Structure 1
Amino acid sequence: MATEGRQRTPSDADRPWSHEQAVVGDVRLHYVAAGDEADPLVVLLHGFPEFWYSWREQIPALADAGFRVVAPDMRGYNRSEKPHGLDSYRMEALVGDVVNLIDHLGREEAAVVGHDWGGAVAWETAIRRPERVSRLAVLNAPHPERFRDELKRNPEQWRRSWYMLWFQMPAIPETLLGARNAFGVGRLLRESSNPGTFDDEDLRRYREAAARPGALGSAINYYRALLRQNLVEEVRRLVGGGERQRRLRVPTLLIWGEEDVALGTELTEGMNEYVSDVRVERFPGASHWVQNDRPERVNDLLVEFCEG
């Protein structure tokens, strides 16, 4: 299905945003900012294999609606610092980046919006530091407990998630995806999206970001660190030393493109068991890249939700 009203993306010079850098905790992050500095803060977290540019349609819409919008390159991506070692990509570090960025911007809390891996970090930030998240919006990323429960009972989700196991191999994934100026990244985006979701300029920019030294290895380390951490947590649960994450009470919006090749729509069901205040919006025909497939509708939902 074609995307709605997509036009060729203007250059950064034509957009109402600025490029900034900040040292947050132990890492230097690059981010794009728009809107008045006094306006309520919205933090946008991108996924794999993206960077801040995945929010190119949402940044101006939210800024025009009266929000201060900040979209970082998450650690390891694009222009942000790329620390070494798997421990640098544990969830504690990723959540810390969000909290420290909110601190750097002089705020007590923010509305946090995340897609894909950014959605996973957004979920965990709201679960672990709910006092810092005023509202949570997640696009095509499952609640972590909901995802674990689905994997335990649904072999089809394991089939869909095969790439997470492939990413555990040392060096090979980043070598194959990064060859020929990150040709594999462009192919991944093209094959997992709807026709027209990404034009040639979009794919060029994603490939350019992924081809930066160390970027692909850092991005794939998110998956490696997550699997190692989840294995440890599951062992703790089996021996009686671990507990389920508590029910989230932050107001939550879950947006889902139903044609996601990696994540089944079943992951949007039964959410009231995990979140006390949740709204689910599903988009038939939209792919995993829902904010690019349906930018106008997603923008309307995010503005309405962040306004409360």
Structure 2
Amino acid sequence: MRQETLILSGHRFNVLVAGEAGQPLMLFLHGFPEYSAAYEDLMPHLAEEFLCVAPDQRGFGASWKPQNVKDYVLPALLSDAAEVIAHYSSDRTAVVVGHDWGSAVAYGLAFRFPELVSHLVIANGVHPGPFQRAMAAGGRQTEASQYISDLRAEGKEHELVRDEHAAIFDIFNKHMDMGWMTPARRDAYRKAWGDVDGVRAMLNWYRASPLKLAKPGEPIPPEDLPDLPKEALRVSMPHLLIWGMNDSALLPESYEGLEAYCDDLTIEEIENADHWILHQRAADVAARIRRFLEARPVVQ
């Protein structure tokens, strides 16, 4: 694997790359509070067949970190991803893989730029339709998502940088298996998060999102929710959802009804894995992606 630098719309982005030019492109989009290293275990398993590309998305790692919330609205995030595809793909298409917040960008590409996405793979990430419904219902997913309100709070970044980012590592833990977090990785994550400005940039993803979160036991009326018409949230390409069933942040109810938005959906639920499945079960995830694609070949 190697690090490369791209200039996207005049701003510097860091990209982790594995594989060779000329292979079909597989674009990997990470979430919070990770960076491109979210995929460092998975990419080597796929690099013989694909050019694997994982950018530090804006606000993360060694990439551009604007400080204004407006710089993290979905169209801006999609523009970054589309430019990465255009740079690395000879036919301007990619297999797009998303995890956590990276899934928001991956789904956004599928909705708005379906011509760029040959196949969509999501690992423990959510489609906005079912997820908004679950967050607004006031039930178990509402309870599990209360951390979102906390992360949106003004000044939260100052708390998260204290004691060598101890509170961010607490977010990682959240009753999940952290056996993969070695001391070396811990140091690398702390370097990627950086100072208050770096953490503010990451939190701005939450602050820019239009999705609404209820209070436990207090559902939000449908008329008060964002307008999310199904026809605008359609996944027309083959779609694989891989789910670690021990995830304590995103529960299975967050993807209930997903099939209503998809033309060709495969769901694979994996026991004894949680939100950090990309680190815990990298070889297994890669094998499932490979089988999915073999059944629906990537046309070069």
- CA-based RMSD of the aligned residues comes to 2.3
Bigger mean CA offset, 43-52 vs 101-110 = 101-110
The Cα of 1:240 is off from its aligned counterpart by 11
List 4+ stretches of structure 1 deviating above 4 A.
Answer: 234-242
1:236–1:242 contact (8 Å) kept in structure 2: no
Structure 1 equivalent of residue 4 of structure 2: 20
Q: Are the structure 2 counterparts of residues 152 and 191 from structure 1 closer, same or farther at C-alpha, using a change threshold of 3 Å?
A: closer
Deviation string, structure 1 residues 9-32 (Cα, Å, up to 9, x no partner): xxxxxxxx1111111235321001
Q: Are the structure 2 counterparts of residues 241 and 55 from structure 1 closer, same or farther at C-alpha, using a change threshold of 3 Å?
A: closer
Structure 2 equivalent of residue 304 of structure 1: 291
The Cα of 1:236 is off from its aligned counterpart by 12
Is structure 2 residue 191 aligned with structure 1 residue 205?
no
Q: Are the structure 2 counterparts of residues 145 and 63 from structure 1 closer, same or farther at C-alpha, using a change threshold of 3 Å?
A: same
The Cα of 1:126 is off from its aligned counterpart by 0.8
The Cα of 1:213 is off from its aligned counterpart by 5.8
The Cα of 1:118 is off from its aligned counterpart by 0.6
1:146–1:274 contact (8 Å) kept in structure 2: no
Deviation string, structure 1 residues 90-109 (Cα, Å, up to 9, x no partner): 01111111101111224411
Letter in 1 for 2:287: D
1:221 to 199, 204, 208: 204
Letter in 2 for 1:282: E
Q: How does 1:1-16 map to 2 (within 5 A)?
A: none
Q: What is the CA–CA distance in structure 2 between the aligned matches of 1:304 and 1:239, rounded to whole Å?
A: 38
2:278 to 276, 287, 291: 291
Task: Indicate the percent of aligned positions where both proteins have the same amino acid.
Answer: 31
Is structure 2 residue 231 aligned with structure 1 residue 254?
no
1:136–1:251 contact (8 Å) kept in structure 2: yes
Deviation string, structure 1 residues 38-57 (Cα, Å, up to 9, x no partner): 00000111111001111111
Q: Are the structure 2 counterparts of residues 248 and 303 from structure 1 closer, same or farther at C-alpha, using a change threshold of 3 Å?
A: same
1:249–1:277 contact (8 Å) kept in structure 2: yes
1:180 to 155, 158, 163: 163
2:99–2:122 contact (8 Å) kept in structure 1: yes
Q: What is the CA–CA distance in structure 1 between the aligned matches of 2:52 and 2:100, rounded to whole Å?
A: 19
Flag structure 1 segments of 5+ consecutive residues without an equivalent.
1-16
Q: Are the structure 2 counterparts of residues 123 and 181 from structure 1 closer, same or farther at C-alpha, using a change threshold of 3 Å?
A: same
2:23–2:51 contact (8 Å) kept in structure 1: yes
Letter in 2 for 1:145: G
Deviation string, structure 1 residues 56-87 (Cα, Å, up to 9, x no partner): 111111102x1001011010111001112111
1:185–1:210 contact (8 Å) kept in structure 2: no
2:99 to 115, 120, 125: 115
1:91 to 74, 86, 99: 74
Deviation string, structure 1 residues 205-241 (Cα, Å, up to 9, x no partner): 1122112562211110000000xx346xx99976998
Q: What is the CA–CA distance in structure 2 between the aligned matches of 1:241 and 1:199, rounded to whole Å?
A: 43
Letter in 1 for 2:229: E
Structure 1 equivalent of residue 131 of structure 2: 147
Q: What is the CA–CA distance in structure 2 between the aligned matches of 1:217 and 1:306, rounded to whole Å?
A: 37
Letter in 1 for 2:79: G
1:39 to 17, 20, 23: 23
